[in-house]
Amino acid sequence: MPAPAPILITGASQRIGLHCALRLLEQGQPVIASYRSERPGVKQLQAAGAQTLFADFATEAGIEAFIATLKATTPTLRAIVHNASLWLTDDAEDALQRMLNVHLRAPYLINLHCAELLQHGGPADIIHISDDVTRKGSARHIGYCASKAGLDSLTLSFAARLAPAIKVNGIAPALIQFNPDDDAAYRAKALSKSALGIEPGAEVIYQSLRYLLDNPYVTGTTLPVNGGRHLK
Protein backbone atom coordinates (compact mmCIF):
# COMPACT_ATOMS: atom_id res chain seq x y z
CA MET A 1 0.00 0.00 0.00
CA PRO A 2 1.52 3.39 -0.96
CA ALA A 3 2.39 5.86 1.77
CA PRO A 4 -0.19 8.61 2.29
CA ALA A 5 0.47 11.95 0.63
CA PRO A 6 2.02 14.50 2.99
CA ILE A 7 0.31 17.50 4.55
CA LEU A 8 2.13 20.80 4.12
CA ILE A 9 2.07 23.11 7.14
CA THR A 10 3.69 26.49 6.66
CA GLY A 11 5.34 28.27 9.57
CA ALA A 12 5.51 25.07 11.58
CA SER A 13 8.64 25.63 13.68
CA GLN A 14 6.86 26.95 16.79
CA ARG A 15 3.62 27.22 18.74
CA ILE A 16 0.41 26.18 16.92
CA GLY A 17 2.08 25.05 13.70
CA LEU A 18 4.62 22.93 15.54
CA HIS A 19 1.97 21.34 17.74
CA CYS A 20 -0.28 20.45 14.80
CA ALA A 21 2.62 19.04 12.78
CA LEU A 22 3.77 16.84 15.65
CA ARG A 23 0.23 15.59 16.32
CA LEU A 24 -0.23 14.65 12.67
CA LEU A 25 3.10 12.83 12.69
CA GLU A 26 2.00 10.93 15.81
CA GLN A 27 -0.99 9.69 13.81
CA GLY A 28 1.25 8.38 11.02
CA GLN A 29 0.50 11.28 8.68
CA PRO A 30 3.57 12.44 6.70
CA VAL A 31 4.24 16.18 7.07
CA ILE A 32 6.20 18.76 5.12
CA ALA A 33 6.89 21.73 7.39
CA SER A 34 8.13 25.11 6.27
CA TYR A 35 10.14 27.38 8.54
CA ARG A 36 11.69 30.85 8.33
CA SER A 37 14.06 30.69 11.33
CA GLU A 38 16.21 27.88 12.74
CA ARG A 39 14.25 27.50 15.96
CA PRO A 40 14.52 24.37 18.15
CA GLY A 41 11.22 23.23 16.69
CA VAL A 42 12.88 22.56 13.34
CA LYS A 43 15.12 19.89 14.88
CA GLN A 44 12.13 18.55 16.79
CA LEU A 45 10.17 18.17 13.56
CA GLN A 46 13.06 16.48 11.80
CA ALA A 47 13.52 14.05 14.69
CA ALA A 48 9.80 13.20 14.48
CA GLY A 49 10.10 12.41 10.76
CA ALA A 50 8.92 15.60 9.06
CA GLN A 51 10.49 16.98 5.91
CA THR A 52 11.48 20.58 6.57
CA LEU A 53 11.80 23.28 3.92
CA PHE A 54 13.10 26.81 4.37
CA ALA A 55 10.66 29.50 3.25
CA ASP A 56 10.71 33.29 3.38
CA PHE A 57 7.21 34.40 2.46
CA ALA A 58 7.91 38.09 3.15
CA THR A 59 9.01 38.59 -0.47
CA GLU A 60 7.52 37.43 -3.75
CA ALA A 61 10.86 35.94 -4.76
CA GLY A 62 10.90 33.90 -1.56
CA ILE A 63 7.38 32.62 -2.24
CA GLU A 64 8.24 31.61 -5.80
CA ALA A 65 11.40 29.85 -4.63
CA PHE A 66 9.40 27.88 -2.06
CA ILE A 67 6.83 26.80 -4.66
CA ALA A 68 9.62 25.47 -6.89
CA THR A 69 11.23 23.63 -3.98
CA LEU A 70 7.91 22.15 -2.88
CA LYS A 71 7.13 20.81 -6.35
CA ALA A 72 10.59 19.25 -6.51
CA THR A 73 10.02 17.63 -3.10
CA THR A 74 6.67 15.88 -3.58
CA PRO A 75 4.35 14.95 -6.48
CA THR A 76 1.22 14.99 -4.31
CA LEU A 77 -0.21 16.56 -1.16
CA ARG A 78 -3.06 15.51 1.10
CA ALA A 79 -3.57 19.09 2.33
CA ILE A 80 -2.05 22.54 2.55
CA VAL A 81 -2.30 24.33 5.89
CA HIS A 82 -1.40 28.01 5.63
CA ASN A 83 -0.21 28.73 9.15
CA ALA A 84 2.77 31.04 8.49
CA SER A 85 2.16 34.40 10.13
CA LEU A 86 3.89 37.70 10.72
CA TRP A 87 2.91 40.16 13.46
CA LEU A 88 4.22 43.68 12.99
CA THR A 89 3.08 47.04 14.33
CA ASP A 90 1.81 49.52 11.77
CA ASP A 91 4.85 51.78 12.21
CA ALA A 92 7.38 49.05 11.38
CA GLU A 93 9.27 49.44 8.11
CA ASP A 94 7.34 47.95 5.16
CA ALA A 95 4.97 46.39 7.71
CA LEU A 96 1.86 46.25 5.54
CA GLN A 97 3.66 44.92 2.47
CA ARG A 98 5.45 42.21 4.40
CA MET A 99 2.28 41.09 6.19
CA LEU A 100 0.32 41.10 2.92
CA ASN A 101 3.02 38.90 1.40
CA VAL A 102 2.95 36.39 4.25
CA HIS A 103 -0.80 36.33 4.95
CA LEU A 104 -2.19 36.90 1.45
CA ARG A 105 0.25 36.67 -1.45
CA ALA A 106 1.87 33.42 -0.28
CA PRO A 107 -1.41 31.51 0.19
CA TYR A 108 -2.76 32.95 -3.06
CA LEU A 109 0.25 31.90 -5.14
CA ILE A 110 0.72 28.55 -3.40
CA ASN A 111 -2.96 27.71 -3.91
CA LEU A 112 -2.84 28.73 -7.56
CA HIS A 113 0.35 26.89 -8.43
CA CYS A 114 0.18 23.89 -6.10
CA ALA A 115 -3.50 22.92 -6.32
CA GLU A 116 -2.37 20.38 -8.92
CA LEU A 117 -0.54 18.51 -6.15
CA LEU A 118 -3.92 18.03 -4.43
CA GLN A 119 -5.65 16.75 -7.59
CA HIS A 120 -5.10 13.03 -7.03
CA GLY A 121 -8.66 11.78 -6.68
CA GLY A 122 -8.63 11.37 -2.91
CA PRO A 123 -9.57 13.69 -0.04
CA ALA A 124 -7.87 17.06 -0.44
CA ASP A 125 -7.96 20.22 1.65
CA ILE A 126 -6.64 23.74 1.89
CA ILE A 127 -6.92 25.31 5.34
CA HIS A 128 -6.12 28.95 6.10
CA ILE A 129 -5.24 29.90 9.69
CA SER A 130 -6.77 33.35 10.05
CA ASP A 131 -7.45 35.35 13.23
CA ASP A 132 -10.55 36.18 15.25
CA VAL A 133 -9.54 39.86 15.11
CA THR A 134 -10.94 40.10 11.57
CA ARG A 135 -14.44 39.75 13.01
CA LYS A 136 -14.46 43.34 14.30
CA GLY A 137 -11.25 45.01 13.12
CA SER A 138 -8.40 46.47 15.16
CA ALA A 139 -7.63 50.12 15.78
CA ARG A 140 -4.14 49.23 17.03
CA HIS A 141 -3.07 46.63 14.45
CA ILE A 142 -4.67 47.76 11.21
CA GLY A 143 -2.24 46.16 8.76
CA TYR A 144 -2.21 42.80 10.51
CA CYS A 145 -6.00 42.68 10.69
CA ALA A 146 -6.45 43.74 7.06
CA SER A 147 -4.04 41.13 5.76
CA LYS A 148 -5.73 38.37 7.76
CA ALA A 149 -9.14 39.56 6.53
CA GLY A 150 -7.84 39.10 3.00
CA LEU A 151 -7.03 35.51 3.91
CA ASP A 152 -10.68 35.01 4.94
CA SER A 153 -11.69 36.21 1.49
CA LEU A 154 -9.31 33.74 -0.15
CA THR A 155 -11.11 30.96 1.73
CA LEU A 156 -14.40 31.82 0.04
CA SER A 157 -12.95 32.37 -3.42
CA PHE A 158 -10.76 29.29 -3.56
CA ALA A 159 -13.56 27.15 -2.09
CA ALA A 160 -15.74 28.16 -5.03
CA ARG A 161 -12.95 27.74 -7.57
CA LEU A 162 -11.61 24.36 -6.44
CA ALA A 163 -14.85 22.53 -5.53
CA PRO A 164 -15.67 19.72 -5.58
CA ALA A 165 -12.20 18.17 -5.74
CA ILE A 166 -10.62 20.29 -2.99
CA LYS A 167 -12.28 21.62 0.17
CA VAL A 168 -11.09 25.04 1.31
CA ASN A 169 -11.75 26.26 4.85
CA GLY A 170 -10.31 28.49 7.53
CA ILE A 171 -9.73 28.52 11.27
CA ALA A 172 -9.88 31.84 13.14
CA PRO A 173 -8.27 31.55 16.59
CA ALA A 174 -8.39 34.17 19.31
CA LEU A 175 -6.17 33.72 22.38
CA ILE A 176 -4.76 30.18 22.28
CA GLN A 177 -1.60 30.28 24.39
CA PHE A 178 0.37 32.95 26.17
CA ASN A 179 4.02 33.74 25.62
CA PRO A 180 6.31 32.97 28.57
CA ASP A 181 7.00 36.67 29.21
CA ASP A 182 3.34 37.75 29.34
CA ASP A 183 2.75 39.22 32.80
CA ALA A 184 -0.15 38.49 35.14
CA ALA A 185 -2.00 41.73 34.38
CA TYR A 186 -1.90 41.10 30.64
CA ARG A 187 -3.03 37.50 31.09
CA ALA A 188 -5.97 38.50 33.27
CA LYS A 189 -7.08 41.17 30.78
CA ALA A 190 -6.80 38.79 27.82
CA LEU A 191 -8.71 36.02 29.57
CA SER A 192 -11.53 38.41 30.48
CA LYS A 193 -12.27 39.05 26.79
CA SER A 194 -13.86 35.64 26.23
CA ALA A 195 -16.95 34.02 27.72
CA LEU A 196 -15.01 30.85 28.63
CA GLY A 197 -12.04 32.74 30.09
CA ILE A 198 -9.39 30.06 29.60
CA GLU A 199 -6.05 29.61 27.85
CA PRO A 200 -6.94 26.46 25.89
CA GLY A 201 -3.57 25.58 24.36
CA ALA A 202 -2.71 24.54 20.81
CA GLU A 203 -4.57 21.23 20.96
CA VAL A 204 -7.87 23.02 20.23
CA ILE A 205 -6.47 24.12 16.87
CA TYR A 206 -5.35 20.59 16.07
CA GLN A 207 -8.87 19.40 16.93
CA SER A 208 -10.32 22.01 14.58
CA LEU A 209 -7.86 21.07 11.85
CA ARG A 210 -8.73 17.41 12.27
CA TYR A 211 -12.45 18.20 11.99
CA LEU A 212 -11.99 20.07 8.73
CA LEU A 213 -9.76 17.34 7.29
CA ASP A 214 -12.18 14.56 8.24
CA ASN A 215 -15.54 16.16 7.40
CA PRO A 216 -16.38 15.67 3.70
CA TYR A 217 -19.25 18.20 3.65
CA VAL A 218 -17.70 21.48 4.82
CA THR A 219 -16.13 24.02 2.46
CA GLY A 220 -15.96 27.80 2.26
CA THR A 221 -16.25 28.09 6.05
CA THR A 222 -14.02 29.83 8.58
CA LEU A 223 -14.32 28.14 11.95
CA PRO A 224 -14.04 30.53 14.93
CA VAL A 225 -12.06 29.16 17.87
CA ASN A 226 -12.39 32.10 20.22
CA GLY A 227 -13.81 30.92 23.54
CA GLY A 228 -16.96 32.98 22.99
CA ARG A 229 -15.33 36.36 22.45
CA HIS A 230 -18.24 37.36 20.22
CA LEU A 231 -20.54 37.06 23.28
CA LYS A 232 -18.71 39.67 25.37
Distances (CA, A) of 144 to 66, 95, 118, 137, 141: 23, 9, 29, 10, 6
Name residue 159's beta-bridge partners.
none
For the range 93-101, what are the long-range contacts, defined as Cβ-Cβ under 8 Å and sequence gap of 24 or more? Answer: 95/143, 96/143, 96/146, 96/147, 98/58, 99/143, 99/144, 99/147, 100/143, 100/147, 100/150, 101/57, 101/58, 101/59, 101/60, 101/63
Instruction: Provide the 10 A C-beta neighbour count for residue 141.
Output: 19
Residues labelled as active-site residues: 144
Q: Are 206 and 168 in contact (CB under 8 A)?
A: no
User: Which residues 6+ apart lie within 8 Å of 159 measured at CB?
Assistant: 167, 168, 169, 219, 220
